[in-house]
Amino acid sequence: MSDVPRSYTPAEKRQRAWLVLRGTKQALADNVDPKLDARIDRIDAQAEDRGIREARALYQQHEQAQNALAAAKAKERTASREDRQAARQARIKAEQQLSRTEKAIRRAGL
């Protein structure tokens, strides 16, 4: 298996498991159908493409969250006394968003 992230749909997981099981049975009988490997490769390619797109989107959101946090910190530092509480709340929200994107990246195994 490669280091490229793969994202399988539930239907793809079921179909791939069934194909692998079928291929294993055929291998025991020494009569493997090459179409099975081709179907598994197609499913893997689709999952790999989807995984790359999802990883790219997660990293893009993370980058945006980092930029928003930097802007919120700068705004908080330059805020007047009357606006400081609102700027602090905006910074806290930006930190929470950044934390959520980092957690999503970790959960995705990236």
pLDDT over 90 (residue 58): yes
Half-sphere exposure of 14 (CA within 13 A, CB side): 3
Judged against a pLDDT cut of 70, whether residue 56 lies above it is answered with yes
Name 95's Cβ contacts closer than 8 Å, sequence gap at least 6: 69
Q: Is-contact 23 36, C-beta < 8 A? A: yes
Per-residue tokens: 94: 């930006």
Query: Mean pLDDT of all residues in the chain?
Result: 92
Q: Which residues, in sequence order, are CB contacts of 101 under 8 Å at separation 6+?
A: 58, 61, 62, 65
